[in-house]
Amino acid sequence: MNKDSHILITGGAGFIGSALVKIFNNRGIQNLILCDTFHNKEKIRNLEGKQYTTQVEADQLFEYLQQDRRIGLIFHFGAKAGAYAMDKQALEKYNMEYSQKIWDYATLKQIPLIYATTGATYGSGTFGFKDDVSTLMKLNPVNEYARSKHRFDLWANSQKKSPPFWAGLKFFNVYGPNEYHKGRRASMVYHCYRQIVEKGYATLFGSFNPAIADGEYKRDLVYLKDVLDICFWFYDQIRQNHKKLSSGIFNVGTGIPVSFNEIAFAVFSALKKEVGIQYQPIPEDIRNGYPEISYADTGKLRSSGYNPPFTPLVEGVADYVRNYLIPKRYF
């Protein structure tokens, strides 16, 4: 990619997108075009002090791109979730059709594309968590948001025409600074912190399976700073024209599942408070297909050349709680 070209980041004011702006700024890169919906004041605080070229409202992006824009790389991290999670029409429009338009633009202009998908596409984990095409074809996500992301993954893998390089990053449970605006969709670490500070104890899901103790469902928690390191690593591979890197879907997680209890313990430890946990039933509407365990198979990412270790849970939570949540700092 040309050093004078711009990097387009959709979801640029969001959790991962805004932190990615900071990573680029730290490396002297400011030629960034940010696309998002910029009316959320809490979300916009994610961008304070950051340097970029321009903001583009999400519904005006394709009109903006009709002009001759010098874009060398696209990070497509914008999506509909949260309040839209059960709105099939909105999910189809934004998570499928909007993403297809970005793909088509990147293909037409021959721009490398990195887009966000989710580990939730693995559903209950019946077919494992391997990011290969044979597994992809079998998956059956258990909620509408994950299904919308899965449909695009399938579509992308079926295209005969594609960007010169593309990567779908399957983010597992990302936690870290700049998620203040996410509300219910914020990480378990964030919610545990808020509960402990406000009530003195954490509330976790109990178990409806006699074989699993309360709080012992397990997830793969990956620290935001590790996610950003992976994103920048892909950028570096593209910038250096490393043609050995193959396009496709890549799991982004530590590969190490941790229990809900372990997550809460890490937050109590970071706060230097005595552990206090209460358990509540898992809501009936999400019990069907609720995974007992999920974790990223990181074999493809590692074999592609990404070697740095992931931040251990206790270290990541301590950094997040003490350096960001307590002082309410942004990344």
| Catalytic one of 145, 190, 235, 324 | 145
| Catalytic one of 93, 130, 182, 300 | 182
Q: How far apart are CA 123 and CA 283, in angstroms?
A: 17
Q: Give the Cα-Cα-Cα angle 90, 141, 73 (nearest 5 degrees).
A: 60
182 is catalytic: yes
φ, ψ dihedrals at 186, nearest 5°: -65, 165
145 is catalytic: yes
Active site residues: 145, 182
